[in-house]
Structure 1
Amino acid sequence: MSADLDALLTCLYVLVDDLLPGRRRFGRPPRISDGELICLAVAQVLLDCADETRFLRLAKQRLSHLFPYIPGQSGFNKRLRCLAPQLAQAVTLLAQLSPSFCDRLRLLDSTPVPCAASRETVRRSQLAGLGGYGYCRSHSRWFWGFRLYLLCSPDGLPIGFELAPANAPERAVAAELLERVLEPGQIVIGDKGFAGSEFEQLVASLGGTLLRPDRKNEQPRFGSLGGIRQWIESTFDTLKDQLSLERHGGRTLTGLVSRIARRLLALTAVLLHNWQLGTPGRHLTAYDH
Protein backbone atom coordinates (compact mmCIF):
# COMPACT_ATOMS: atom_id res chain seq x y z
CA MET A 1 0.00 0.00 0.00
CA SER A 2 1.35 3.42 -0.95
CA ALA A 3 0.49 7.09 -0.51
CA ASP A 4 -1.11 7.80 -3.87
CA LEU A 5 -4.60 8.41 -5.19
CA ASP A 6 -5.02 4.96 -6.76
CA ALA A 7 -4.21 3.15 -3.50
CA LEU A 8 -6.47 5.43 -1.46
CA LEU A 9 -9.44 4.93 -3.82
CA THR A 10 -8.93 1.16 -3.85
CA CYS A 11 -8.89 0.96 -0.04
CA LEU A 12 -11.84 3.33 0.21
CA TYR A 13 -13.90 1.25 -2.22
CA VAL A 14 -13.28 -1.93 -0.22
CA LEU A 15 -14.36 -0.22 3.02
CA VAL A 16 -17.38 1.59 1.58
CA ASP A 17 -18.60 -1.47 -0.31
CA ASP A 18 -18.44 -3.53 2.90
CA LEU A 19 -19.83 -0.94 5.31
CA LEU A 20 -22.70 0.60 3.37
CA PRO A 21 -25.83 -1.50 2.84
CA GLY A 22 -26.92 -2.15 -0.71
CA ARG A 23 -29.97 -0.33 -2.08
CA ARG A 24 -32.84 -2.18 -3.70
CA ARG A 25 -33.46 -1.07 -7.26
CA PHE A 26 -35.99 -1.72 -9.98
CA GLY A 27 -35.16 -2.03 -13.65
CA ARG A 28 -31.74 -2.39 -15.18
CA PRO A 29 -28.74 -2.60 -12.83
CA PRO A 30 -26.56 0.54 -12.85
CA ARG A 31 -23.33 0.47 -14.86
CA ILE A 32 -21.47 2.00 -11.92
CA SER A 33 -22.18 0.96 -8.31
CA ASP A 34 -22.85 3.32 -5.40
CA GLY A 35 -19.46 2.46 -3.90
CA GLU A 36 -17.65 3.28 -7.14
CA LEU A 37 -19.59 6.52 -7.49
CA ILE A 38 -18.67 7.59 -3.94
CA CYS A 39 -14.99 6.88 -4.65
CA LEU A 40 -15.22 8.87 -7.88
CA ALA A 41 -16.70 11.80 -5.93
CA VAL A 42 -13.83 11.63 -3.41
CA ALA A 43 -11.36 11.68 -6.30
CA GLN A 44 -13.00 14.85 -7.61
CA VAL A 45 -12.52 16.55 -4.25
CA LEU A 46 -8.89 15.47 -3.85
CA LEU A 47 -8.03 16.52 -7.40
CA ASP A 48 -9.64 19.92 -6.61
CA CYS A 49 -11.70 19.94 -9.80
CA ALA A 50 -14.90 21.82 -8.93
CA ASP A 51 -16.33 21.70 -12.47
CA GLU A 52 -17.99 18.28 -12.80
CA THR A 53 -17.94 18.17 -16.61
CA ARG A 54 -14.22 18.94 -16.65
CA PHE A 55 -13.55 16.39 -13.91
CA LEU A 56 -15.39 13.60 -15.73
CA ARG A 57 -13.29 14.29 -18.84
CA LEU A 58 -10.18 14.12 -16.67
CA ALA A 59 -11.40 10.91 -14.99
CA LYS A 60 -11.71 9.13 -18.35
CA GLN A 61 -7.98 9.77 -18.88
CA ARG A 62 -6.66 9.52 -15.32
CA LEU A 63 -8.95 6.97 -13.61
CA SER A 64 -10.33 4.73 -16.36
CA HIS A 65 -8.21 1.80 -15.08
CA LEU A 66 -10.10 1.98 -11.76
CA PHE A 67 -13.55 2.84 -13.10
CA PRO A 68 -14.49 0.97 -16.30
CA TYR A 69 -17.55 3.21 -16.72
CA ILE A 70 -17.52 6.98 -16.14
CA PRO A 71 -21.06 8.46 -16.12
CA GLY A 72 -22.13 11.72 -17.71
CA GLN A 73 -22.41 14.93 -15.72
CA SER A 74 -26.19 14.79 -15.30
CA GLY A 75 -26.26 11.20 -14.06
CA PHE A 76 -23.20 11.75 -11.86
CA ASN A 77 -24.75 14.75 -10.12
CA LYS A 78 -28.22 13.18 -9.80
CA ARG A 79 -26.93 9.94 -8.29
CA LEU A 80 -24.71 11.74 -5.78
CA ARG A 81 -27.58 13.94 -4.62
CA CYS A 82 -29.56 10.79 -3.90
CA LEU A 83 -26.53 9.36 -2.07
CA ALA A 84 -26.25 12.29 0.39
CA PRO A 85 -27.37 10.15 3.40
CA GLN A 86 -24.95 7.36 2.44
CA LEU A 87 -22.09 9.87 2.10
CA ALA A 88 -22.76 11.23 5.59
CA GLN A 89 -23.00 7.68 6.94
CA ALA A 90 -19.70 6.76 5.30
CA VAL A 91 -17.96 9.65 7.10
CA THR A 92 -19.08 8.24 10.46
CA LEU A 93 -18.28 4.63 9.62
CA LEU A 94 -14.77 5.42 8.37
CA ALA A 95 -14.07 7.69 11.35
CA GLN A 96 -14.84 4.80 13.71
CA LEU A 97 -12.03 2.79 12.10
CA SER A 98 -9.40 5.43 12.88
CA PRO A 99 -7.36 5.24 16.13
CA SER A 100 -8.03 8.92 16.84
CA PHE A 101 -11.76 8.17 17.14
CA CYS A 102 -10.97 6.79 20.63
CA ASP A 103 -9.36 10.05 21.76
CA ARG A 104 -11.18 11.62 24.73
CA LEU A 105 -10.63 15.15 23.42
CA ARG A 106 -13.13 16.67 20.98
CA LEU A 107 -12.92 20.03 19.20
CA LEU A 108 -16.11 21.94 18.38
CA ASP A 109 -16.47 24.93 16.07
CA SER A 110 -18.37 26.25 13.06
CA THR A 111 -17.35 27.84 9.77
CA PRO A 112 -19.27 29.75 7.07
CA VAL A 113 -20.53 27.96 3.96
CA PRO A 114 -21.52 30.86 1.64
CA CYS A 115 -24.11 30.04 -1.04
CA ALA A 116 -24.64 33.40 -2.80
CA ALA A 117 -22.83 36.71 -3.13
CA SER A 118 -25.54 39.14 -4.33
CA ARG A 119 -29.05 40.01 -3.19
CA GLU A 120 -30.53 39.03 -6.56
CA THR A 121 -28.86 35.61 -6.41
CA VAL A 122 -30.19 35.12 -2.89
CA ARG A 123 -33.72 36.02 -4.02
CA ARG A 124 -33.70 33.57 -6.96
CA SER A 125 -31.79 30.76 -5.24
CA GLN A 126 -33.51 27.43 -4.60
CA LEU A 127 -32.00 27.73 -1.12
CA ALA A 128 -34.04 30.90 -0.44
CA GLY A 129 -35.96 30.42 2.78
CA LEU A 130 -33.48 27.77 3.93
CA GLY A 131 -30.25 29.74 4.23
CA GLY A 132 -29.74 32.91 6.23
CA TYR A 133 -27.43 35.87 6.78
CA GLY A 134 -24.58 35.43 9.23
CA TYR A 135 -21.44 37.24 10.31
CA CYS A 136 -17.95 35.80 9.96
CA ARG A 137 -15.80 37.23 12.76
CA SER A 138 -12.49 35.96 11.40
CA HIS A 139 -12.99 37.82 8.08
CA SER A 140 -15.16 40.66 9.46
CA ARG A 141 -17.83 40.21 6.79
CA TRP A 142 -21.45 39.22 6.34
CA PHE A 143 -22.40 36.26 4.18
CA TRP A 144 -25.55 34.42 3.08
CA GLY A 145 -25.87 30.68 3.33
CA PHE A 146 -25.18 28.13 6.03
CA ARG A 147 -22.69 27.28 8.76
CA LEU A 148 -20.95 23.93 9.07
CA TYR A 149 -20.74 22.78 12.70
CA LEU A 150 -17.97 20.24 13.10
CA LEU A 151 -16.98 18.03 16.02
CA CYS A 152 -13.58 16.50 15.36
CA SER A 153 -10.64 14.79 17.06
CA PRO A 154 -7.34 16.65 17.65
CA ASP A 155 -5.94 15.48 14.29
CA GLY A 156 -8.99 16.81 12.43
CA LEU A 157 -10.93 13.54 12.03
CA PRO A 158 -14.64 14.43 11.54
CA ILE A 159 -16.68 12.79 14.30
CA GLY A 160 -19.99 14.51 13.58
CA PHE A 161 -21.29 17.51 11.68
CA GLU A 162 -24.41 19.64 11.27
CA LEU A 163 -25.36 22.08 8.51
CA ALA A 164 -27.57 24.92 9.73
CA PRO A 165 -28.70 28.34 8.43
CA ALA A 166 -26.11 31.02 9.12
CA ASN A 167 -28.51 32.87 11.43
CA ALA A 168 -29.39 29.81 13.54
CA PRO A 169 -28.45 30.03 17.26
CA GLU A 170 -24.99 28.52 17.64
CA ARG A 171 -25.55 26.84 20.98
CA ALA A 172 -28.85 25.27 19.88
CA VAL A 173 -27.28 23.69 16.79
CA ALA A 174 -24.21 22.55 18.73
CA ALA A 175 -26.49 21.00 21.37
CA GLU A 176 -28.23 18.88 18.72
CA LEU A 177 -24.86 17.76 17.39
CA LEU A 178 -23.48 16.82 20.81
CA GLU A 179 -26.63 14.96 21.82
CA ARG A 180 -26.12 12.74 18.80
CA VAL A 181 -22.39 11.97 18.92
CA LEU A 182 -20.84 12.91 22.29
CA GLU A 183 -19.73 9.98 24.46
CA PRO A 184 -19.52 10.07 28.29
CA GLY A 185 -16.11 11.06 29.64
CA GLN A 186 -15.10 13.16 26.64
CA ILE A 187 -13.78 16.72 26.86
CA VAL A 188 -15.18 19.27 24.40
CA ILE A 189 -13.15 22.37 23.57
CA GLY A 190 -15.18 25.16 21.98
CA ASP A 191 -14.83 28.89 21.41
CA LYS A 192 -16.31 31.84 23.31
CA GLY A 193 -19.53 31.59 21.30
CA PHE A 194 -20.47 28.50 23.30
CA ALA A 195 -20.29 30.32 26.65
CA GLY A 196 -23.32 29.95 28.88
CA SER A 197 -24.34 27.97 31.95
CA GLU A 198 -27.19 26.17 30.13
CA PHE A 199 -24.85 24.87 27.44
CA GLU A 200 -22.29 23.78 30.03
CA GLN A 201 -25.00 21.94 31.94
CA LEU A 202 -26.15 20.23 28.75
CA VAL A 203 -22.64 18.95 28.03
CA ALA A 204 -22.35 17.80 31.65
CA SER A 205 -25.69 15.97 31.40
CA LEU A 206 -24.29 14.06 28.42
CA GLY A 207 -21.30 12.97 30.53
CA GLY A 208 -18.84 15.41 28.96
CA THR A 209 -16.84 18.45 30.07
CA LEU A 210 -16.85 21.77 28.22
CA LEU A 211 -13.70 23.89 28.06
CA ARG A 212 -13.62 27.27 26.30
CA PRO A 213 -11.47 30.43 26.28
CA ASP A 214 -12.19 32.87 29.09
CA ARG A 215 -14.17 35.99 28.31
CA LYS A 216 -12.84 39.39 29.34
CA ASN A 217 -15.74 40.07 31.71
CA GLU A 218 -15.50 36.86 33.76
CA GLN A 219 -13.20 35.29 36.31
CA PRO A 220 -10.29 33.22 34.89
CA ARG A 221 -11.29 29.58 34.49
CA PHE A 222 -9.68 27.83 31.53
CA GLY A 223 -7.21 30.35 30.07
CA SER A 224 -7.00 31.30 26.40
CA LEU A 225 -6.63 27.74 24.99
CA GLY A 226 -5.11 29.42 21.94
CA GLY A 227 -2.79 26.60 20.90
CA ILE A 228 -5.45 23.91 21.15
CA ARG A 229 -8.09 26.05 19.42
CA GLN A 230 -5.68 26.41 16.51
CA TRP A 231 -6.04 22.68 15.79
CA ILE A 232 -9.62 22.95 14.56
CA GLU A 233 -8.85 26.20 12.76
CA SER A 234 -6.16 24.37 10.80
CA THR A 235 -8.72 21.64 9.97
CA PHE A 236 -11.06 24.27 8.53
CA ASP A 237 -8.12 25.74 6.60
CA THR A 238 -7.53 22.31 5.05
CA LEU A 239 -11.20 21.98 4.11
CA LYS A 240 -11.27 25.44 2.53
CA ASP A 241 -7.84 25.72 0.90
CA GLN A 242 -7.22 22.14 -0.25
CA LEU A 243 -10.73 20.66 -0.44
CA SER A 244 -12.53 23.82 -1.70
CA LEU A 245 -15.27 23.85 0.95
CA GLU A 246 -16.43 27.37 0.04
CA ARG A 247 -16.44 26.58 -3.71
CA HIS A 248 -18.94 23.75 -3.30
CA GLY A 249 -21.30 24.75 -6.14
CA GLY A 250 -24.42 23.43 -4.37
CA ARG A 251 -27.71 24.97 -5.55
CA THR A 252 -30.23 22.76 -3.75
CA LEU A 253 -30.30 21.54 -0.16
CA THR A 254 -29.65 17.89 -1.07
CA GLY A 255 -26.91 18.97 -3.46
CA LEU A 256 -25.29 21.14 -0.79
CA VAL A 257 -25.38 18.37 1.83
CA SER A 258 -23.95 15.91 -0.69
CA ARG A 259 -21.07 18.23 -1.61
CA ILE A 260 -20.21 19.04 2.00
CA ALA A 261 -20.28 15.34 2.91
CA ARG A 262 -17.96 14.51 -0.02
CA ARG A 263 -15.33 16.88 1.33
CA LEU A 264 -15.59 15.51 4.85
CA LEU A 265 -15.42 11.97 3.48
CA ALA A 266 -12.30 12.84 1.47
CA LEU A 267 -10.64 14.26 4.60
CA THR A 268 -11.63 11.19 6.64
CA ALA A 269 -10.36 8.81 3.97
CA VAL A 270 -6.99 10.58 3.80
CA LEU A 271 -6.57 10.57 7.59
CA LEU A 272 -7.44 6.88 7.82
CA HIS A 273 -5.18 5.96 4.90
CA ASN A 274 -2.27 7.91 6.40
CA TRP A 275 -2.80 6.08 9.72
CA GLN A 276 -2.63 2.76 7.90
CA LEU A 277 0.63 3.85 6.24
CA GLY A 278 2.16 4.83 9.59
CA THR A 279 2.28 8.54 8.71
CA PRO A 280 -0.69 10.03 10.61
CA GLY A 281 -1.74 13.56 9.75
CA ARG A 282 -3.54 15.66 7.15
CA HIS A 283 -1.05 15.11 4.32
CA LEU A 284 -3.08 15.58 1.13
CA THR A 285 -0.39 16.47 -1.40
CA ALA A 286 0.28 12.86 -2.40
CA TYR A 287 -3.36 12.44 -3.44
CA ASP A 288 -3.97 15.61 -5.48
CA HIS A 289 -2.51 14.44 -8.79
Structure 2
Amino acid sequence: MTIIIYFHQSSYRNFKDYYTKHVCNFFAKYFPQLVSYNRFVELQKSALIPLCWYLHLRRGHSTGINFIDATSLEICLNPRAKRNRVFKGLANWGKSSVRWYFGFKLHLIINEKGEIISFMITPANVDDRKPVPEMTKNVFGKLFGDKGYISQQLFELLFKKNIQLITSVKKNMKNRLMPLIDKILLRKRSLIETVNDQLKNISQIQHTRHRSVCNFMVNVIAGIIAYTYQDKKPSLNLTTEDLNSLQEPYFFPPETLAITII
Protein backbone atom coordinates (compact mmCIF):
# COMPACT_ATOMS: atom_id res chain seq x y z
CA MET A 1 0.00 0.00 0.00
CA THR A 2 2.80 2.41 0.86
CA ILE A 3 4.54 1.85 -2.46
CA ILE A 4 1.31 2.33 -4.40
CA ILE A 5 0.29 5.51 -2.57
CA TYR A 6 3.75 7.06 -2.73
CA PHE A 7 3.74 6.73 -6.52
CA HIS A 8 0.94 9.31 -6.63
CA GLN A 9 3.07 11.70 -4.58
CA SER A 10 6.17 11.24 -6.71
CA SER A 11 7.18 13.04 -9.89
CA TYR A 12 6.99 9.85 -11.95
CA ARG A 13 4.29 9.58 -14.61
CA ASN A 14 4.80 5.90 -15.32
CA PHE A 15 4.45 3.25 -12.62
CA LYS A 16 6.96 0.90 -14.28
CA ASP A 17 9.70 3.54 -14.24
CA TYR A 18 8.78 4.45 -10.67
CA TYR A 19 9.00 0.85 -9.48
CA THR A 20 12.10 -0.28 -11.38
CA LYS A 21 14.14 2.93 -11.09
CA HIS A 22 13.06 4.35 -7.75
CA VAL A 23 11.53 1.68 -5.53
CA CYS A 24 14.02 -1.09 -6.38
CA ASN A 25 17.00 1.25 -5.98
CA PHE A 26 16.01 3.38 -2.98
CA PHE A 27 13.32 1.44 -1.10
CA ALA A 28 15.00 -1.97 -1.01
CA LYS A 29 16.21 -1.47 2.57
CA TYR A 30 12.65 -0.71 3.71
CA PHE A 31 11.10 -3.56 1.72
CA PRO A 32 13.65 -6.41 1.72
CA GLN A 33 11.28 -8.83 -0.03
CA LEU A 34 10.56 -6.77 -3.13
CA VAL A 35 9.21 -8.74 -6.07
CA SER A 36 9.62 -8.12 -9.77
CA TYR A 37 7.58 -5.43 -11.48
CA ASN A 38 5.31 -7.92 -13.27
CA ARG A 39 4.65 -9.78 -10.03
CA PHE A 40 3.90 -6.54 -8.21
CA VAL A 41 1.30 -5.59 -10.83
CA GLU A 42 -0.34 -8.98 -10.31
CA LEU A 43 -0.41 -8.46 -6.54
CA GLN A 44 -1.87 -4.95 -6.70
CA LYS A 45 -5.46 -6.20 -6.74
CA SER A 46 -4.99 -7.70 -3.26
CA ALA A 47 -4.50 -4.17 -1.92
CA LEU A 48 -7.87 -2.88 -3.17
CA ILE A 49 -9.98 -3.64 -0.09
CA PRO A 50 -7.34 -2.43 2.43
CA LEU A 51 -6.96 0.77 0.38
CA CYS A 52 -10.72 1.33 0.40
CA TRP A 53 -10.82 0.92 4.16
CA TYR A 54 -7.85 3.23 4.65
CA LEU A 55 -9.48 5.89 2.46
CA HIS A 56 -12.57 5.63 4.64
CA LEU A 57 -10.39 6.62 7.61
CA ARG A 58 -8.79 9.48 5.67
CA ARG A 59 -12.03 11.16 4.59
CA GLY A 60 -13.01 14.60 5.81
CA HIS A 61 -16.25 15.58 7.55
CA SER A 62 -19.05 17.88 6.54
CA THR A 63 -18.86 21.35 8.09
CA GLY A 64 -22.14 22.67 6.68
CA ILE A 65 -20.57 24.08 3.50
CA ASN A 66 -20.15 21.44 0.83
CA PHE A 67 -19.42 21.38 -2.90
CA ILE A 68 -20.32 18.65 -5.38
CA ASP A 69 -19.06 17.96 -8.89
CA ALA A 70 -18.28 15.15 -11.33
CA THR A 71 -15.21 14.77 -13.52
CA SER A 72 -14.34 12.46 -16.39
CA LEU A 73 -12.08 9.41 -16.08
CA GLU A 74 -10.97 8.29 -19.53
CA ILE A 75 -9.77 4.69 -19.74
CA CYS A 76 -8.56 4.69 -23.35
CA LEU A 77 -8.25 6.89 -26.41
CA ASN A 78 -11.52 7.36 -28.28
CA PRO A 79 -10.45 5.48 -31.47
CA ARG A 80 -9.66 2.42 -29.31
CA ALA A 81 -12.94 2.39 -27.38
CA LYS A 82 -14.60 -0.34 -29.47
CA ARG A 83 -11.56 -2.59 -29.11
CA ASN A 84 -11.22 -2.17 -25.34
CA ARG A 85 -11.80 -5.51 -23.61
CA VAL A 86 -10.69 -4.70 -20.07
CA PHE A 87 -13.75 -2.54 -19.32
CA LYS A 88 -16.23 -4.21 -21.66
CA GLY A 89 -19.73 -3.91 -20.20
CA LEU A 90 -18.56 -1.47 -17.49
CA ALA A 91 -17.33 1.73 -19.13
CA ASN A 92 -19.49 3.82 -21.44
CA TRP A 93 -19.54 6.98 -23.53
CA GLY A 94 -20.04 10.30 -21.80
CA LYS A 95 -19.64 13.97 -22.59
CA SER A 96 -17.50 16.35 -20.59
CA SER A 97 -17.54 20.12 -20.91
CA VAL A 98 -14.97 19.76 -23.70
CA ARG A 99 -15.67 16.60 -25.70
CA TRP A 100 -16.96 13.04 -25.79
CA TYR A 101 -14.91 10.38 -24.00
CA PHE A 102 -15.07 6.67 -23.12
CA GLY A 103 -14.76 5.68 -19.48
CA PHE A 104 -16.20 6.60 -16.11
CA LYS A 105 -17.19 9.55 -13.94
CA LEU A 106 -15.75 10.40 -10.56
CA HIS A 107 -18.37 12.10 -8.38
CA LEU A 108 -16.97 14.10 -5.45
CA ILE A 109 -18.29 15.98 -2.44
CA ILE A 110 -15.82 18.16 -0.55
CA ASN A 111 -16.03 20.65 2.31
CA GLU A 112 -14.72 24.22 2.29
CA LYS A 113 -11.30 22.96 3.46
CA GLY A 114 -10.86 20.93 0.28
CA GLU A 115 -11.24 17.64 2.17
CA ILE A 116 -13.01 14.82 0.35
CA ILE A 117 -16.17 13.79 2.20
CA SER A 118 -17.66 11.33 -0.25
CA PHE A 119 -16.99 9.95 -3.72
CA MET A 120 -18.45 7.49 -6.20
CA ILE A 121 -17.35 6.07 -9.55
CA THR A 122 -20.01 5.44 -12.21
CA PRO A 123 -20.06 4.80 -15.97
CA ALA A 124 -19.66 8.01 -17.96
CA ASN A 125 -23.28 8.01 -19.16
CA VAL A 126 -24.81 8.16 -15.65
CA ASP A 127 -26.64 11.39 -14.80
CA ASP A 128 -24.73 13.54 -12.29
CA ARG A 129 -27.82 13.70 -10.06
CA LYS A 130 -28.33 9.94 -9.70
CA PRO A 131 -25.62 9.14 -7.07
CA VAL A 132 -26.30 12.27 -4.97
CA PRO A 133 -28.75 10.69 -2.45
CA GLU A 134 -26.29 7.89 -1.70
CA MET A 135 -23.31 10.24 -1.44
CA THR A 136 -24.95 12.67 1.00
CA LYS A 137 -25.50 10.26 3.90
CA ASN A 138 -22.90 12.06 6.04
CA VAL A 139 -23.53 15.57 4.70
CA PHE A 140 -25.51 18.43 6.25
CA GLY A 141 -26.01 22.12 5.57
CA LYS A 142 -25.54 23.70 2.15
CA LEU A 143 -24.53 21.75 -0.96
CA PHE A 144 -23.33 23.83 -3.92
CA GLY A 145 -23.34 22.38 -7.42
CA ASP A 146 -23.43 23.42 -11.06
CA LYS A 147 -26.41 23.49 -13.42
CA GLY A 148 -26.21 19.75 -13.94
CA TYR A 149 -27.71 19.21 -10.47
CA ILE A 150 -30.88 21.24 -11.05
CA SER A 151 -33.84 19.06 -10.04
CA GLN A 152 -36.88 19.91 -7.95
CA GLN A 153 -37.26 16.28 -6.92
CA LEU A 154 -33.62 16.08 -5.79
CA PHE A 155 -33.94 19.41 -3.96
CA GLU A 156 -36.95 18.18 -1.99
CA LEU A 157 -35.30 14.85 -1.22
CA LEU A 158 -32.16 16.51 0.15
CA PHE A 159 -34.17 19.12 2.05
CA LYS A 160 -35.77 16.31 4.06
CA LYS A 161 -32.23 15.23 5.00
CA ASN A 162 -31.35 18.72 6.31
CA ILE A 163 -29.39 19.55 3.15
CA GLN A 164 -30.04 22.64 1.03
CA LEU A 165 -29.08 22.11 -2.61
CA ILE A 166 -27.94 25.39 -4.19
CA THR A 167 -27.23 25.67 -7.91
CA SER A 168 -26.92 28.38 -10.51
CA VAL A 169 -29.75 28.69 -13.04
CA LYS A 170 -29.88 27.99 -16.75
CA LYS A 171 -30.34 30.76 -19.29
CA ASN A 172 -33.88 29.66 -20.13
CA MET A 173 -34.98 29.68 -16.47
CA LYS A 174 -36.54 32.56 -14.60
CA ASN A 175 -34.30 34.63 -12.36
CA ARG A 176 -34.74 33.89 -8.69
CA LEU A 177 -33.72 35.57 -5.48
CA MET A 178 -30.85 34.13 -3.48
CA PRO A 179 -29.28 35.16 -0.16
CA LEU A 180 -26.11 37.14 -0.76
CA ILE A 181 -23.93 34.70 1.18
CA ASP A 182 -25.20 31.80 -0.96
CA LYS A 183 -24.42 33.75 -4.11
CA ILE A 184 -20.87 34.40 -2.88
CA LEU A 185 -20.27 30.75 -1.95
CA LEU A 186 -21.74 29.57 -5.25
CA ARG A 187 -19.06 31.58 -7.01
CA LYS A 188 -16.48 29.66 -4.97
CA ARG A 189 -17.56 26.39 -6.61
CA SER A 190 -14.31 26.51 -8.59
CA LEU A 191 -12.78 25.07 -5.39
CA ILE A 192 -13.93 21.55 -6.26
CA GLU A 193 -12.82 21.99 -9.87
CA THR A 194 -9.35 22.74 -8.52
CA VAL A 195 -9.50 19.54 -6.46
CA ASN A 196 -10.46 17.56 -9.57
CA ASP A 197 -7.57 19.12 -11.45
CA GLN A 198 -5.08 18.19 -8.72
CA LEU A 199 -6.40 14.63 -8.54
CA LYS A 200 -5.75 14.22 -12.26
CA ASN A 201 -2.53 16.16 -12.73
CA ILE A 202 -0.78 15.68 -9.37
CA SER A 203 -2.23 12.45 -7.97
CA GLN A 204 -2.52 10.95 -11.48
CA ILE A 205 -5.81 9.12 -11.01
CA GLN A 206 -6.35 9.03 -14.78
CA HIS A 207 -4.33 7.20 -17.44
CA THR A 208 -5.05 4.86 -20.35
CA ARG A 209 -2.76 1.90 -19.58
CA HIS A 210 -4.92 -0.20 -17.27
CA ARG A 211 -4.56 -3.98 -17.48
CA SER A 212 -7.53 -4.87 -15.27
CA VAL A 213 -10.54 -3.34 -13.54
CA CYS A 214 -9.01 -3.98 -10.11
CA ASN A 215 -5.81 -2.16 -11.00
CA PHE A 216 -7.89 0.75 -12.31
CA MET A 217 -9.69 0.97 -8.97
CA VAL A 218 -6.41 0.65 -7.04
CA ASN A 219 -4.97 3.54 -9.05
CA VAL A 220 -7.96 5.81 -8.37
CA ILE A 221 -8.25 4.97 -4.66
CA ALA A 222 -4.51 5.34 -4.06
CA GLY A 223 -4.51 8.67 -5.90
CA ILE A 224 -7.31 9.99 -3.70
CA ILE A 225 -5.47 8.82 -0.57
CA ALA A 226 -2.33 10.58 -1.78
CA TYR A 227 -4.37 13.77 -2.18
CA THR A 228 -5.51 13.57 1.46
CA TYR A 229 -1.85 13.84 2.50
CA GLN A 230 -1.30 17.16 0.72
CA ASP A 231 -0.20 19.77 3.23
CA LYS A 232 -1.91 22.61 1.38
CA LYS A 233 -5.24 21.65 -0.12
CA PRO A 234 -7.44 24.12 -2.03
CA SER A 235 -9.47 25.90 0.66
CA LEU A 236 -11.73 28.90 1.32
CA ASN A 237 -9.75 29.61 4.53
CA LEU A 238 -12.85 30.09 6.68
CA THR A 239 -12.45 30.21 10.46
CA THR A 240 -14.76 28.53 12.99
CA GLU A 241 -16.37 31.91 13.64
CA ASP A 242 -17.01 32.34 9.92
CA LEU A 243 -18.69 28.94 9.71
CA ASN A 244 -20.88 29.66 12.73
CA SER A 245 -21.97 33.01 11.32
CA LEU A 246 -22.85 31.45 7.98
CA GLN A 247 -25.10 28.92 9.68
CA GLU A 248 -26.98 31.48 11.79
CA PRO A 249 -30.53 32.37 10.67
CA TYR A 250 -31.05 35.73 9.02
CA PHE A 251 -34.10 37.84 9.84
CA PHE A 252 -33.32 40.91 7.76
CA PRO A 253 -35.70 42.14 5.07
CA PRO A 254 -35.41 39.99 1.93
CA GLU A 255 -34.23 42.89 -0.21
CA THR A 256 -31.15 43.32 2.00
CA LEU A 257 -30.09 39.70 1.70
CA ALA A 258 -31.08 38.69 -1.79
CA ILE A 259 -29.95 39.60 -5.26
CA THR A 260 -31.20 38.68 -8.69
CA ILE A 261 -29.21 36.09 -10.59
CA ILE A 262 -28.42 37.29 -14.08
Superposition TM-score tier, normalisation by shorter sequence: 0.7 to 0.9
User: Secondary structure, in 3 states, of the residue corresponding to 1:238?
Assistant: helix
Give yes or no for contact 1:113–1:145 (8 Å, CA) kept in 2. yes
Q: CA deviation at 1:124?
A: 3.2
Please list every run of 5 or more consecutive structure 2 residues that lacks an aligned counterpart in the other structure.
236-262
Partner of residue 281 from structure 1, selected from 233, 241, 248: 233
User: Aligned pair in 2 of structure 1 residues 282, 108: CA closer, same or farther (>3 Å)?
Assistant: closer
Q: 1:267 aligns with which of 227, 246, 252?
A: 227
Partner of 2:250: none
In the other structure, the counterpart of 1:47 is 10
Q: 2:36 aligned to 58, 68, 72, which one?
A: 72
Normalised by the length of structure 1, the TM-score is 0.72
Q: Equivalents in 2 of 1:92, 1:228: separation in Å?
A: 26
Q: Which amino acid aligns with 1:87?
A: L
The one-letter code of the counterpart of 2:125 is N
Which stretches in structure 1 are left out of the alignment for 5+ residues? 1-37, 275-279, 284-289
Aligned length: 229
Where does structure 1 differ by over 6 angstroms across 4 or more consecutive aligned residues? none
Write out per-residue CA displacement over residues 266-288 of structure 1, whole angstroms, 9 at most, x where no aligned residue.
00122xxx3xxxxx5369xxxxx
Structure 1 residue 51, shift from structure 2 partner: 2.7
Q: Please tell me whether the aligned partners of residues 106 and 119 of structure 2 are also in contact (alpha carbons under 8 angstroms).
A: yes
Mean Cα deviation higher: 216-225 or 123-132: 216-225
Structure 2 CA distance, aligned partners of 1:187 and 1:69? 49
**Per-residue CA distance 1:164-202 (angstroms, 9 max, x = gap):** 000012211223322xx433x332111110001111112
What corresponds to 1:109 in structure 2? 69
With over 3 angstroms needed to count, the CA separation of the structure-2 counterparts of 1:212 and 1:251, relative to structure 1, is farther
Measure, in 1, the Cα distance between the counterparts of 2:141 and 2:33.
45
**Is the partner of 1:146 in helix, strand or coil?**
strand
Q: Counterpart amino acid of 1:127?
A: F
Distance 2:133 2:193 in 1: 20
Q: CA deviation at 1:215?
A: 2.3
- Calculate the aligned-residue CA RMSD, in Å: 2.3
Tell me if 1:190 matches 2:142.
no
Write the distance in 2 (CA, Å) between the matches of 1:206 and 1:166: 27
Change (3 A) 1:39 1:248: farther
- Where does residue 211 of structure 1 map in the other structure? 166
SS across alignment from 2:44: helix
Question: What does residue 122 of structure 1 align with?
Answer: 82
Corresponding residue for 2:118?
160
Q: Deviations over 1:214-260 (max 9, x none)?
A: 22213324448553111001111111221223226334322221111
Does 2:99 correspond to 1:141? yes
1-side partners of 2:111 and 2:208: how far apart? 24
Aligned counterpart, 1:256: 216
Q: Which amino acid aligns with 1:254?
A: C
Q: Which has the higher helix share?
A: 1
Q: 1:59 to 1:142 in 2, by over 3 A?
A: same
8 A contact 2:200–2:206 mirrored in 1 = yes
Q: Which amino acid aligns with 1:94?
A: R
CA distance, structure 2, for counterparts of residue 215 and residue 206 of structure 1: 25
Q: Does 1:93 align with 2:53?
A: no
**Which structure shows the bigger proportion of residues in strand conformation?**
2
Structure with larger Rg: 2
SS in 2 for 1:55: helix
Rounded Cα–Cα distance in structure 2 between residues aligned with 1:248 and 1:268: 23
| Deviation digits for residues 54-112 of structure 1 (CA, Å, limit 9, x no counterpart) | 2112112233343333332233223322222321221120225xxxx352211110000
Supply the distance in 2 between the matched residues of 1:71 and 1:154 (Cα, whole angstroms): 42
Identity of aligned residues (%): 18
Partners of 2:194 and 2:234 within 8 A in 1? no
Letter of the structure 2 residue corresponding to residue 55 of structure 1: Y
Are 1:59 and 2:23 counterparts? yes
Measure, in 2, the Cα distance between the counterparts of 1:226 and 1:209.
12
Asked if the contact 2:166/2:186 (under 8 Å) is kept, the reply is no
Letter in 2 for 1:142: W
Residues 132-166 of structure 1: CA distance to partner in whole angstroms, max 9, x if unpaired?
111111xx210000010011122322111111000
2:114 match: secondary structure: coil
